[in-house]
Structure 1
Amino acid sequence: MPYIASMGIYVISKHVMLQLLREQFPGANDFGSEVIPGATSTGMRVQAYLYDGYWEDIGTIEAFYNANLGITKKPIPDFSFYDRSAPIYTQPRHLPPSKVLDADVTDSVIGEGCVIKNCKIHHSVVGLRSCISEGAIIEDTLLMGADYYETEADKKLLAEKGGIPIGIGKNSHIKRAIIDKNARIGDNVMIINVDNVQEAARETDGYFIKSGIVTVIKDALLPSGTVI
């Protein structure tokens, strides 16, 4: 049967943990609601460390979305990349700076290596290597970006075959959505949850909806003119 992994941090002697799991509570499946209360009930000394720094439970799509969009909060977000006392380390990718051409970008965070052309971006997080075409409108959205670039030759070949390059096509409008990596969004696509649907499983069409948030899955393709 599947189990839910515990994301907590526990410091416990190996022999004590094995005793709890094998002998005293062999049917337990959860540390927080079963093992730890069980240990205290047997008289074991259990102590907690109070952490009052930034922490978010991102166990749902809505929580994940809100946590990411939270870094655009003004004037100071709850979680900041610019805190000298708590630097953020990530994998070095050696990408060029993002290029923004005639675009209107407000209250947003833009990752490395993006190419953004003559579009509007508001209250959004734009992930690395994102390509956003002319006339697009991005609002209240998390773009995860892309794992790789397509060359001009790749794009030309795609166009000859009627394909769609990675990124956001011309004149597309995306609002309150999550776009996973390497998604191909065609021209004139509307991802605005026009019918205010709260829950929908449309993975075969490249997306699903949870809590009213449209999520376009990784490597999905939405043809030009699609309306969600």
Structure 2
Amino acid sequence: MRGGPSVLGIVLAGGEGKRLLPLTADRAKPAVTFGGTYRLVDFVLSNLVNGDILRMCVLTQYKSHSLDRHVSTTWRMSSLLGNYVTPVPAQQRLGPRWYLGSADAILQSLNLVHDERPDYIAVFGADHVYRMDPRQMLAQHVENGAGATVAGIRVPRAEASSFGVITPGADGVQVERFLEKPADPPGLPGDPEQVFASMGNYLFTTKVLVDALHRDAEDENSVHDMGGSILPMLTERGMAQVYDFRNNHVPGESARQHGYWRDVGTLDSYYDAHMDLISPQPEFDLDNRRWPIYTHPGQLPPARFVAGGIATDSVVGPGCVIRGQVSRSVLSPGVVVAEGAMVQGSVLHHNVRVGRGAVVRGSILDKNVDVPPGATIGVNPGRDRELYTVSKNGVIALGKGQRVV
């Protein structure tokens, strides 16, 4: 932030993402396509860049090739001004071992902090869909003199076991307890069916974080995780505060879109977030030109609709050729839908081909899947469960290049 405090962005992008299989069978979770042309990592990087945090390190580990390539080729900043976004793969700087957890990932990458010497460090997750202005969170952190500030969002108590849960103090800011994925989380005072869930976005005063990482490294019983280790430690020491995401206002957002945040860690949540994009009044509108989501769409011609092809309530990427019927779907670049084919309520990644007369319903097809003429997916639930991955809510998912019977 020019003229203000210096902030280094550290994006945690090494997660395996097992709950998103088969989409993560060949790539890291932050590299998974979202919204047609984006990768999940584009959302956090866009928020940080729009918020004037222009020096960022993306820590990668699990099957990171496509993620490293995307960050390297897409996120090129002005070297004249000293700005950068750089992927940082696991380097075993502290011995012959990979990252033991997210805290250990930062500990092993402290050379980046020592080189940059920032006043503050923003540690953000890489696999959520949202818009957020980090400057507003930073302003609270600096004004209150906090050691650590964690962004919190209200979620139903029934869903809280998937998140870190924050218990705020009487002032609504000081963190009294931080529980990582508790089985029976406590509700909020006055609203017992809601909890404050951690969004996985943290701001630290640099010295506080560095000291906490070294303390954690000495603890043989630690899981060496930001949410499971560092935040509880700083909470016990009275150094952690919560930032209420409801107070964050992004330029260009509508009242309907305010406070939108989705953890797309499962096939069902990933699918539902895509359906949010295509409703008549979308809950999350990709077209906010005052707070854009950046990516590199590739060099492809505009989409074509030929031979009576039609798409309704859909997102259609460049290079697509539509000869059949598409409804309530999201199509990535290069998708081909042949004559007589129907695609309904589905998410199709790059270069998927749907043959003549084929039917695809309620499905997620990863890149290069070829649906033969006359084949059906999402028509016979029993058969689909025998052949493909089917989520709890019945969403069918095929991995990259998977054969369609």
Q: What TM-score do you get using the length of structure 1 for normalisation?
A: 0.76
Residue pairs, 1:120-131, within 5 angstroms:
120-131=325-336
Q: Which of residues 167, 179, 184 in structure 1 aligns to 2:353?
A: 167
Q: Select between 90-99 and 2-11 the one with higher mean Cα deviation.
A: 2-11
Contact kept? 1:20, 1:39, Cα under 8 Å: no
Identify the residue that residue 149 of structure 1 maps to in structure 2: none
Call closer, same or farther: CA 1:62–1:23 in 2, change over 3 Å.
same
In structure 1, what residue type is equivalent to 2:226? F
Higher mean alpha-carbon deviation, 55-64 vs 89-98, is at: 89-98
2:217 is equivalent to residue 22 of structure 1:
yes
**Counterpart-to-counterpart distance in 2, 1:89 and 1:33:** 31
Q: In 2, Cα distance between the equivalents of 1:23 and 1:197?
A: 52
Instruction: Say whether the 8 Å CA contact 1:20–1:26 is kept in structure 2.
Output: no
The answer on whether the counterparts of 2:100 and 2:223 sit within 8 Å (CA) in structure 1 is: no
Match of 1:195 among 370, 375, 381: 381
What SS is found at the alignment partner of 2:390? Answer: strand
SS class of match (1:56):
strand
* Residues 3/215 of structure 1: CA separation in 2 closer, same or farther (3 Å cut): farther
* Aligned residue identity for 2:218: E
Give the share of equivalent positions with the same residue, in percent: 27
Find the residue that maps to 1:9 and give its secondary structure: strand
1:71 aligns with 2:277: yes
Q: Deviations over 1:127-155 (max 9, x none)?
A: 11001101001111001122xxxxxxxxx
How far has the Cα of 1:85 moved from its partner? Answer: 1.8
Between 1:24-33 and 1:126-135, the stretch displaced more is 24-33
> Cα offset for 1:103?
1.6
Structure number with greater CO (CA < 8 Å, separation at least 6) is: 2
Q: Distance in 1 between matches of 2:220 and 2:263?
A: 27
Partner of 2:368: 182
Q: Does 1:45 align with 2:239?
A: yes
Query: Structure 1 counterpart of 2:286, which letter?
Result: F
Which of 108, 111, 132 is 2:337 aligned to?
132
> Structure 1: how far apart are the matches of 2:319 and 2:347?
16
Taking only aligned residues, the RMSD between alpha carbons, in angstroms, comes to 2.5
d(CA) in 1 for partners of 2:326 and 2:365?
A: 14
- 1:32 pairs with 2:210: no
Query: How far does residue 219 in structure 1 lie from its aligned partner after superposition?
Result: 1.1
Tell me which stretches of 4 or more aligned residues in structure 1 moved more than 4 Å: 1-6
CA contact (8 A) 1:28 1:35 kept: no
Residue 397 of structure 2 aligns to a residue whose secondary structure is strand
Q: Does the Cα contact within 8 Å between 1:136 and 1:168 map onto a contact in 2?
A: yes
The CA deviation at 1:18 is 2.0
Judged with a 3 Å threshold, the aligned counterparts in structure 2 of structure 1 residues 51 and 25 are, in CA distance, closer, same or farther, namely farther
Matches within 5 A, 1:61-140: 61-74=267-280, 76-101=281-306, 102-117=308-323, 119-140=324-345
Aligned counterpart, 1:11: 203
* Partner Cα separation in structure 1 for residue 363 and residue 342 of structure 2: 12
* Cross-structure match for 1:209: 390
The 3-state SS of whatever aligns with 1:17 is helix
Superimposed CA distance per residue, residues 191-226 of structure 1 (whole angstroms, 9 cap, x where no aligned partner): 01513589x575xxxx3212211111111222xxx4
- Higher strand residue share: 2
Measure the CA separation in 2 of the matches of 1:221 and 1:197.
15
Alignment-derived partner of residue 27 in structure 2? none
Structure 1: runs of 5+ lacking an equivalent: 147-165
Q: Structure 2 regions of 5+ residues with no counterpart?
A: 1-97, 103-123, 126-199, 247-258
Of 347, 352, 371, 1:142 maps to: 347
Per-residue CA deviations over 1:85-123 (Å, capped at 9, x if unaligned) read: 211211141210000011232111101110111x11111
* In 1: Cα distance, 2:379 partner to 2:216 partner: 47
Richer in helix (by share): 2
The Cα of 1:24 is off from its aligned counterpart by 5.2
Q: Which residue of 2 aligns with 1:219?
A: 401
Alignment TM-score, normalising by the size of structure 2: 0.44
